[in-house]
Structure 1
């Protein structure tokens, strides 16, 4: 209740208990009773920051990044349908198979780390890094509807990332908490690494689970 020039102002707010509201509220005048003004909070359009409980809304735009292992090999999507790390020349690192889009999501829950989706374009199709099980990841075609809004507390292609130091990150699966993206040697080909999931913790120092993430340059 606020009083101004002898008049009392009373604001009545109607809010859904599971929804967040915008900082700028729209008020509709209802009536005056005994020198008091009555208003009702309204919304002319859905708020872009509103999220259903246990949901993730994408933030625009995605960021084009190179993802590298500790020995500076680049993560690429091979024609075999596998994510692997390999050496790339300055020319080859400009190819779309190693330029990953990192889509950041706004989380409706009070979590410490941001949630992201990582995908790469192959033959004109967006392919997500998706958890296959507790150990494996695989490329999976992206559903445009899923990209815009994830209506669940976890998703096979959604990871929480933490900045370890400048340009260095860890990625924890939301589908399998406690499991992180990591790289390991490809059998019989020690010069190559493949992308996997490995059990660990966000604060654990495991070089195989720390990635160098840098913005793609022309």
Structure 2
């Protein structure tokens, strides 16, 4: 009977220990909780779902001894970022066909952005862009920096709607590229001297 009680006690203790492992603490609240310094010899794998939906205040500490920037020093990542984020937008009740300046309030110091999957939907009673046989044109949309945020401009530059009361709904996706993973090399200008083709004198500096 005593042996059975001892075995049961060991089993219960092992079960409790497996549930939460604490190093440097006797009251761990996570599956593995380390209080103090920790060294990892190979790699750390982060679950993609937890990486995107990380809890508030969660911080990763790490080193990159091969990086000239980090130089083997400890780096604290204050917020976890994914390389690509897609944010769909629907903009309703646009006057005629022009959005001259839409501030997305996406910070330019953290992200590059592009626009994809653009769709222009005329409102009820709007016959769309009023065209003729001499001039067709097309929708133009672009993202630009203004101040510290990204802005969007959309419109049909060459033509307009038939009536001033006409409205549009625009749907598009904004793709956000985190600057933690992408580098902007700056603008390169080439002079083709009136030709339709040319060759870059060299590869971009910084690649």
TM-score between both structures, scaled by the size of structure 1: 0.24
More helix by share: 2
Q: Which protein, 1 or 2, shows the higher relative CO under an 8 Å CA cutoff with sep ≥ 6?
A: 2
